[in-house]
A and B are shown apart, each in its own frame.
Chain A
Amino acid sequence: MKTVHQIVLGMILVFSSHVSAAERLSVYTVNYPLAYFAERIGDDQVEVVFPAPADVDPAYWMPDRTTIAAYQQADLILLNGANYAKWIGKVSLPRSKMVDTSRKFKDRYLYTSEVTTHSHGTEGAHAHESLAFTTWLDFSLAKLQAESIYEALARKRPMSEIEFKRNYQTLAGDLDKLHAQITAIVARDPDRTLLGTHSVYDYLNAGYEMNLKSVHWDPDEAPTVSRWNDLKHILEGHQGMYMLWKSEPLLESVSDLRKKGIESVVFSPSANRPDSGDFLTVMRANIGALALAYK
């Protein structure tokens, strides 16, 4: 009799797990931070897919037709907004499934001065390539994006709203901690000048009122003479600076900078999946690096 009960219970468990797997919402995202937020909030109710290859910058990635077709079939498509994924404007996706996670703070979008736009004729309208898009590096905005994801999941699956809300609140708590940590670090020396390679730090800079100067250096390339000259102007009057890199720079660059009194730290935007850890571990490491820069 006991064996029969165990068998029946086992069958019920197996059946319910199959039902559960079959009913998971399919959620596609355009970058890793959104995938992480969706996984945290949706938990086992969602199957999150972020199909960009690990070695590409998702903002400039162009999926193939098969991948686009997969996006079209998803239950939800999470967009970053701020013109992040350039490919979105060139494909056909169902608006009913798209969620612009930064819609709530559209009025706070930043324009980067790093991009050269173009127009046709001197009076022509500019092509809009100049929006900064790494919104999640301001953790107060990241929290709003996470909230948009929670609301979208709750609309899709109202019966699980309580669970989603609980998960969102836990994630929001983690993002609040990160926010508080960076705020406290920057507060030590609000006028401290930092260097940032690339325009990915615009939201970090604005959100925490840092004094970050952007230079257009790539971690994988040795800087050119003109880039060194650009740096020289910024260095005038500043000593003991730190440069933030979006990934590990060349040792040569690090060494050359050190000779100029500039130390290098990595502050990864984590737009794509990290080799190890997750979004939180990467951000905590970033905050550790930032703390070093504000020592």
Chain B
Amino acid sequence: MDSLYLAWQYVRFNKAKTIILVASITLIAVLPLALESLLTESERQLLVRAESTPLLIGTKGSALDLVMNSLYFDDEIPELMTMEAVERIHDTQFALPIPLYVRFQARGHPIVGTTFDYFEFRRLSIDQGCPLTMLGDCVLGAKAAELLGIGPGDDLVSSPDNLFDLAGVYPLKMKVAGVLAPNHSADDLAVFVDLKTAWVIQGLGHGHQDVTRTRDNSVVLKRADGNVAANAKLYHYTEITEDNLDNFHFHGDMSIYPLTAIIAVPNDEKSGALLRGRYLDRDDTEQAFLPAEVIDGLLQNIFRIRNVIDSVIAVVGLAMVLVIILVFTLSLRLRQREIQTIFRLGCRRAMIGRMLLAEIVLILSVSGVLCMAVLGVVNANAEELVRRLLMG
């Protein structure tokens, strides 16, 4: 106890040195542990989303781009596919196809064009308002609604695809039908629309006056063979309302309308395996894979980088330990006269040794407590921190 008391008095007196030592030891201990905690949480969050998605189907190409766009709504758009792919899955009766068209944005938030089944699949529930009902409706993720400051009944305009392409995608004014309950995933930041609304945003569907019955010949280019060709003067509605909903329609063969990916929800494990088998042909332009495998591969790459970082931290840590040893050694040299004084006062060598050891133990203990406190804070906020980092 005496040695502890003396050690405590010494560290109290030499505050600056103590603080520096405690901070250094705490930092070198916390860094790899906090990094480990954050990476573990990142892995968990990425994997949870990926593992909850049984099968992803897209055009052959970068599987990672496909996964990042489909699961996390990354703005890197993969190679597009068509609605024929949905029918192909439907015909097998092995799985429920949930098409995705994640291409456009609305005020910085990704617009996710999909079908009603997506919400049941992701267990998304409505917190305010009502779900998607009609063309032109949108439903906001909880965080998106909060950041945009809008709710049910408000309007949201889609962003132009390309500011420099005047003949490109026209903005569509959408009606906010509802806001989802928080889901703690990428869904919280998204704007959900029906797939057909996404096609309207692209211009594949539109609404205008009925040219087959109009008396305004200035909008008619040609009438022949049971068809009326309209010219560019014909005004297209920029908003879908209950009054003009009837005028909205699509042109051409809808089986070739675009998608970015399809989530396939197999009826059972065997159906899933059989469905995957349908995409093994080398000549097939589509691929089917387990998103968890892709994310796992990505994480392994990240972990390789982490191993490098860990190695660097270990080297730095070793250097830090050597420096601390040097500091203690130099400190002992500087305290030679003090130690001799204590010895002459009758203190045994063992007691002096215990005192010096107690100083080290005290410093290490304080560092330990601080380290645990910092790690506690990191662990408590890891989920939120990682989510913000991942979702941007």
Which A positions have Cβ atoms within 8 angstroms of B?
A: 62, 65, 68-69, 72, 86, 89-96, 113, 115-122, 124-130
Tell me, yes or no, whether B249 is within 8 Å of chain A by CB: yes
Q: Tell me which residues across on chain B come within 8 A of A86, comparing CB atoms.
A: 246
Query: Are A118 and B230 in contact, CB atoms less than 8 angstroms apart?
Result: yes
Query: Are B117 and A125 in contact, CB atoms less than 8 angstroms apart?
Result: no
Q: Tell me which residues across on chain B come within 8 A of A62, comparing CB atoms.
A: 245-246
A117–chain B nearest beta-carbon distance, Å: 5
> Given A92-B115, A94-B120, A95-B97, A127 and B249 touching (CB < 8 A)?
yes
Tell me, yes or no, whether B228 is within 8 Å of chain A by CB: yes
Q: Tell me which residues across on chain A come within 8 A of B261, comparing CB atoms.
A: none
B85–chain A nearest beta-carbon distance, Å: 14
Q: Tell me which residues across on chain A come within 8 A of B252, comparing CB atoms.
A: 125-126, 128
10 A-B pairs with least C-beta separation: A125-B252, A92-B132, A94-B116, A92-B194, A125-B251, A116-B212, A118-B228, A90-B135, A92-B116, A118-B211
Sample (15) of A-B pairs whose CB atoms are under 8 Å apart: A68-B133, A92-B116, A94-B115, A95-B98, A113-B226, A116-B226, A116-B227, A116-B228, A118-B211, A118-B212, A118-B228, A121-B232, A122-B221, A124-B251, A128-B252
Q: Tell me which residues across on chain B come within 8 A of A69, comparing CB atoms.
A: 130-131, 133
Q: Tell me which residues across on chain B come within 8 A of A65, comparing CB atoms.
A: 130, 133-134
Q: Tell me which residues across on chain B come within 8 A of A128, comparing CB atoms.
A: 250-254
Query: Are A120 and B133 in contact, CB atoms less than 8 angstroms apart?
Result: no
Query: Are B97 and A117 in contact, CB atoms less than 8 angstroms apart?
Result: no
Query: Are A95 and B115 in contact, CB atoms less than 8 angstroms apart?
Result: yes
Q: Tell me which residues across on chain B come within 8 A of A121, comparing CB atoms.
A: 221, 229-232
> Given A65-B134, A90-B196, A96-B96, A122 and B115 touching (CB < 8 A)?
no
Query: Are B226 and A117 in contact, CB atoms less than 8 angstroms apart?
Result: yes
Tell me, yes or no, whether B333 is within 8 Å of chain A by CB: no
A199–chain B nearest beta-carbon distance, Å: 12
Query: Are B227 and A119 in contact, CB atoms less than 8 angstroms apart?
Result: yes
B271–chain A nearest beta-carbon distance, Å: 13
Query: Are B115 and A126 in contact, CB atoms less than 8 angstroms apart?
Result: no
Tell me, yes or no, whether B359 is within 8 Å of chain A by CB: no
Query: Are A120 and B230 in contact, CB atoms less than 8 angstroms apart?
Result: yes
Tell me, yes or no, whether B248 is within 8 Å of chain A by CB: yes
Tell me, yes or no, whether B278 is within 8 Å of chain A by CB: no
Query: Are B250 and A127 in contact, CB atoms less than 8 angstroms apart?
Result: yes
Q: B236-255: which residues lie under 8 A (CB-CB) from chain A?
A: 245-246, 248-254
Interface residues of B toward A: which range?
Answer: 35 or more
B225–chain A nearest beta-carbon distance, Å: 9
> Given A95-B97, A118-B212, A124 and B134 touching (CB < 8 A)?
no
Query: Are B227 and A126 in contact, CB atoms less than 8 angstroms apart?
Result: yes
Tell me, yes or no, whether B187 is within 8 Å of chain A by CB: no
A62–chain B nearest beta-carbon distance, Å: 7
Q: What is the chain B residue whose CB lies nearest that of A93? A: B116
A110–chain B nearest beta-carbon distance, Å: 15
Query: Are A124 and B245 in contact, CB atoms less than 8 angstroms apart?
Result: no
Query: Are A92 and B227 in contact, CB atoms less than 8 angstroms apart?
Result: no
Query: Are A119 and B230 in contact, CB atoms less than 8 angstroms apart?
Result: yes
B247–chain A nearest beta-carbon distance, Å: 10
Supplied contacts A65-B134, A117-B228, 15 more A-B pairs, CB within 8 Å: A68-B133, A90-B134, A90-B246, A91-B133, A91-B134, A92-B133, A95-B115, A96-B120, A115-B226, A116-B227, A116-B228, A119-B227, A128-B250, A129-B249, A130-B226
Q: Tell me which residues across on chain A come within 8 A of B130, comparing CB atoms.
A: 65, 69
Query: Are B116 and A95 in contact, CB atoms less than 8 angstroms apart?
Result: yes
| CA of A94 to CA of B117, assembled, Å | 5
B13–chain A nearest beta-carbon distance, Å: 73
Most buried by B among A68, A90, A94, A122: A90
Query: Are A124 and B133 in contact, CB atoms less than 8 angstroms apart?
Result: no
A109–chain B nearest beta-carbon distance, Å: 13
| CA of A95 to CA of B120, assembled, Å | 11
Q: Tell me which residues across on chain B come within 8 A of A113, comparing CB atoms.
A: 226
Q: Tell me which residues across on chain B come within 8 A of A94, comparing CB atoms.
A: 115-117, 120
| CA of A90 to CA of B205, assembled, Å | 11
Q: What is the chain A residue whose CB lies nearest that of B194? A: A92
| CA of A121 to CA of B220, assembled, Å | 9
The interface bits of chain B over 104-147 (1 if a CB of A lies within 8 angstroms of the residue's CB, else 0) are: 00000000000111001000000000111111010000000000
Query: Are A120 and B251 in contact, CB atoms less than 8 angstroms apart?
Result: yes
Q: Tell me which residues across on chain B come within 8 A of A91, comparing CB atoms.
A: 133-135, 194
| CA of A80 to CA of B120, assembled, Å | 25
Tell me, yes or no, whether B222 is within 8 Å of chain A by CB: yes
| CA of A68 to CA of B194, assembled, Å | 14
> Given A65-B133, A94-B116, A117 and B248 touching (CB < 8 A)?
no
